[in-house]
Amino acid sequence: MNGKLKTFLKITFFVLLALIVIVSAIVIYCSIIVADVKLDESKLVNLERGINFYDNEGNMIEEQSGGVPVTDIKDIPEHVKNAFIAVEDKRFYSHKGVDYKGFLRAMLNNIKSFSFKEGASTISQQLIKNTHLSNEKTIKRKLSEMKLARLLEKKYSKEEILEKYLNTIYFGEGCYGITAASRYYFNKTPQELSINESAMLAAVIKAPSVYSPYKNEEKSNDRKKFVLNKMYEQNFITENQYSTCTAEKIKTESEHGDTPFDYIGYVKKELGGIMDSLAYSGKKFNVYTYYDESVQNAVSSSFADNISCDKTAIVMNDKNKVIAFSSTSGEFYRQTGSTLKPLIVYAPAIEYNVVSSLTPVLDEKTDFGGYSPSNYNDVYYGYVSVKESLAKSLNSCAVKLLNYTGIERAKSLMEKTEISFTEKDNSLCVALGCTEKGATLTELTAAYGIFSDGGYYYAPTAIKYITVDGRKITDENNDKKRVIGEDTAYIMDDMLRYTVTDGTSKKLSFLDFPVYAKTGTVGISGGNTDAYNISFNKDYSIGVWYGNKDNSLMPNNITGGTYPTATSYRIWEKLDIKNPTLFSAPESVSEVPLDKISYDNDHLLITADDNSPQRFILKGIFKKNNLPEKKSTRFSNPIVDNYELSVNNSEIIIRLCLTELFEAKIYRYENNVRTMIFDTAGCDNNVIYKDDKLKEGAVYNYTVIPYFKNGDKVIEGEEKNIGTVKISFNDSDWWDDDFF
């Protein structure tokens, strides 16, 4: 044996020895850190799950507790079991609790991505994790899970393990186990589930808040197809069954699906996403909410009309905390109509200083590159203020303003709220609330919170905090995002108050305190599909929607300004508001007096003259970084532009054309002596004065001084020369020769 071979064998020996030592050390270390981990069989069966709900004062609203309903494995069809095995653990019947092949693959992928993205947990491991361990992603927890899974496999058969798994897994909506899930989603027993329904339930468990057919039908269906594909690949279903199931749309028939959706139902919907990660944290869940019973009663009793359609109302207080909710059909995405205008059109236009609230806009039929929106009843008003265009909900003006601002700039602001847009929402019809996705009433009402909360957005929530088995595991969320400036918010408040006093929400003007609102209607000539009123003050925000979940039409007399506004009025009236908190103007805004004459006649924003009478002043609220640039001198410098001097025989005739604003004094100069010969006070606008007290050979010069009288104050303008005349009665043409 040569020297090189000996050296190679020595190196190989020491490398192998080192590897054996390292592996042995790892095995010993792993054994030590999980030495005290024991399988607790009592945790695998008869789980007692309970969720209690409390109001804002800590009083219990509702108690939901009891054992998880269990179905024996022999009563669960093979296709139900196979759906879960196919997507969760395809080697379930061959491994001993841990799928080492899958584990090594996941470990390599995690090393590549420097994360714990993949876990490769078998059904046995999932059962252990759900019943024995926390959700933390640590090496110790994973090792404990693997040890307990092996112990589980030694103690129970595969069918027993699968039974325990299917009867403890969380399906969302408060449903633990296949029995509760079958009843909730399909109003069936597990024995009655079809292949398609089984695949959907197997799809839901990955993330119930994401894949629930009630929350996201499209994603749920895509995930169901993924499960069916896995079943087909593993020969659990035939090609014909796969094709039939993927083409078939599942009809959910929940025993809860069409019942009135009250506050607890609303909380459960919000709880869904939280429960995805907390579902196995303990047995006793206490959910503390912002529920206000008196406000809930006000909402529930305010649908006093007999209109046959679906109705929903929500009430939030400061920072978008949901304190009351009532609906006949639940909550879902709808087209928003004109309720989106303040958010997508007017707030961005004010924020970016494109316009002020009093900027004149020409309301007329306009073509925007082939898109020509119409106003209600095809009525147009000519020049109106931005403020008035919102109050009248003029479509032509809204589209014009969005075009000035830019769609992308406007969307970038509103996407800081929970109102979202798709790539298809790039046309100007977005100004009228025409979007692909629409919004929920919660999202819409919460977005209006930027106007009541000084430009900040708070995510809407009904849940204050949650405790599990006595441990507080969540805190109140008061995170906020700046969407618009405080000055923009204050100006929008002023504009939305105007929609109440002079616009489509006028019914709310009869309340004893100020509220701010916008209506919205979606429909066609044959009827309306949606009608809204979103209203708020500093203390509350209220959203009301009328429509039909199935998109069937309501009569045309159900608009945002009719029944939803009337319902909003009844809710506001029942709230105990004795000393409402009023909005205070931020330092970044200023009230500016405008010259009303320039505004009305010339459609210009010009600051009023300091001497302007109140009747010629139009007041507006402006951001200090977007004030009118020009100031009027109309009343500080009165003028007369139209005057004429002529001669008729022995008379000098002076004609003045005055405005309705100013008077004038006519003076005659003779030998440098000035004499006032006439004052137009009390005369009509067209003045004719005849001077017949003339002397032969005299030279007369005539002037006029316009003036304005404001109370006791008299302001004179510049003295204007009218003309000079030399008198010669003997000359028949004296007025021609000597008038100059």
Give the pLDDT mean for 440-446: 97
Going by pLDDT thresholds of 50, 70 and 90, the confidence category of residue 734 is very low
Give the pLDDT mean for 624-638: 93
pLDDT reading at 118 higher than 70: no
User: Would you state the structure tokens that stand for residue 9, as one six-digit string?
Assistant: 């064998």
Between CA 147 and CA 151 the distance in angstroms is 6
Between CA 615 and CA 13 the distance in angstroms is 104
Give the pLDDT mean for 724-735: 65
Helix (H, G, I), strand (E, B) or coil at 616: helix
User: CA dihedral in degrees (318, 321, 324, 327; nearest 10)?
Assistant: 120
Percent residues over pLDDT 70 in the chain: 89
* Cβ–Cβ < 8 Å for 344, 414: yes
Between CA 116 and CA 106 the distance in angstroms is 9
pLDDT reading at 622 higher than 90: yes
Percent residues over pLDDT 90 in the chain: 53
Residue scoring higher pLDDT (565 or 268): 565
Helices and strands in the chain: count of H runs, count of E runs: 24, 26
Between CA 481 and CA 62 the distance in angstroms is 33
Going by pLDDT thresholds of 50, 70 and 90, the confidence category of residue 740 is very low
Between CA 411 and CA 352 the distance in angstroms is 13
Q: Nearest to residue 452, comparing CAs of 506, 493, 505?
A: 493
Name the region of 655 (left: φ>0; alpha: ψ -120 to 50; beta: rest): beta
* Cβ–Cβ < 8 Å for 322, 461: yes
User: Would you state the structure tokens that stand for residue 538, as one six-digit string?
Assistant: 């500093």
Amino acid identity at 574? K
User: If one looks up domain 49-62+259-271+281-334+440-484+506-586 in CATH, what number appears?
Assistant: 3.40.710.10
Q: Nearest to residue 303, comparing CAs of 258, 259, 260, 255?
A: 260
Q: Nearest to residue 410, comparing CAs of 393, 427, 394, 390?
A: 427
pLDDT reading at 733 higher than 60: no
pLDDT reading at 258 higher than 60: no
Residue scoring higher pLDDT (684 or 348): 348
Give the pLDDT mean for 325-338: 92
Give pLDDT, residue 30.
61
User: Would you state the structure tokens that stand for residue 440, as one six-digit string?
Assistant: 């929920």
Between CA 520 and CA 717 the distance in angstroms is 52
CA 402 to chain centre: 17
Lowest-pLDDT range, 37-51, 123-137, 377-391?
A: 37-51
- Residues near 618 by Cβ (< 8 Å), separated by ≥ 6? 358, 593, 594, 595, 596, 599, 608
Give pLDDT, residue 259.
46
**Mean pLDDT over each residue of the chain, to the nearest integer:** 87
pLDDT reading at 392 higher than 60: yes
User: CA dihedral in degrees (337, 340, 344, 346; nearest 10)?
Assistant: 100
Give pLDDT, residue 532.
97
Instruction: Count other C-beta atoms under 10 Å from residue 68's C-beta.
Output: 16
Going by pLDDT thresholds of 50, 70 and 90, the confidence category of residue 726 is confident
Lowest-pLDDT range, 89-103, 651-665, 721-735?
A: 721-735
- Residues near 500 by Cβ (< 8 Å), separated by ≥ 6? 506, 508, 509, 514, 515, 516, 517, 535
Between CA 404 and CA 560 the distance in angstroms is 27
Sign of the alpha-carbon dihedral angle for 428, 430, 431, 434 = positive
Helix (H, G, I), strand (E, B) or coil at 431: helix
Between CA 605 and CA 630 the distance in angstroms is 8
* Cβ–Cβ < 8 Å for 147, 113: no
CA 546 to chain centre: 18
Give pLDDT, residue 184.
85
β partners of residue 313: 326, 544
pLDDT reading at 728 higher than 90: no
Give pLDDT, residue 2.
64
Residue pLDDT, tens place only, 278-305 = 777 677 889 999 999 999 999 988 887 7
Helix, strand, coil in percent for the chain, rounding step 5: 40, 25, 40
Give pLDDT, residue 54.
94
Identity of the highest mean pLDDT range in 108-112, 467-471, 487-491: 487-491
The CA radius of gyration of the chain, in Å to the nearest whole number, is 40
- What distance, in Å, lies between the first and last C-alpha atoms of the chain? 137
Between CA 598 and CA 603 the distance in angstroms is 6
Residue scoring higher pLDDT (442 or 579): 442
Residue pLDDT, tens place only, 211-247 = 988 778 888 899 999 999 999 999 999 999 999 999 8
Give the pLDDT mean for 67-89: 89
Give the pLDDT mean for 614-634: 94
pLDDT reading at 24 higher than 70: no
Residue carrying structure tokens 């009844």? 570
Give pLDDT, residue 113.
52
pLDDT reading at 736 higher than 50: no
Going by pLDDT thresholds of 50, 70 and 90, the confidence category of residue 120 is low
Q: At CA 15, angle to CA 14 and CA 20, rounded to 5?
A: 95
Lowest-pLDDT range, 527-531, 660-664, 704-708?
A: 660-664
Lowest-pLDDT range, 241-255, 291-305, 325-339?
A: 241-255
CA distances to 442, 516, 648, 730 from 545, in Å: 11, 17, 77, 91
CATH superfamily of 642-737: Immunoglobulins (2.60.40.10)
Give pLDDT, residue 577.
87
Question: Burial code of 303-336, b = ≥16 C-beta within 10 A, e = fewer?
Answer: beeebebbbbbbbbbebbbbbbbbbebbbbebbb
The total number of residues shown for the chain amounts to 740
pLDDT reading at 203 higher than 80: yes
Between CA 366 and CA 485 the distance in angstroms is 31
User: If one looks up domain 68-257 in CATH, what number appears?
Assistant: 1.10.3810.10
Identity of the highest mean pLDDT range in 134-138, 166-170, 519-523: 519-523
pLDDT reading at 1 higher than 70: no
Q: Nearest to residue 250, comparing CAs of 197, 173, 304?
A: 197
pLDDT reading at 313 higher than 50: yes
Going by pLDDT thresholds of 50, 70 and 90, the confidence category of residue 102 is low
Between CA 613 and CA 619 the distance in angstroms is 12
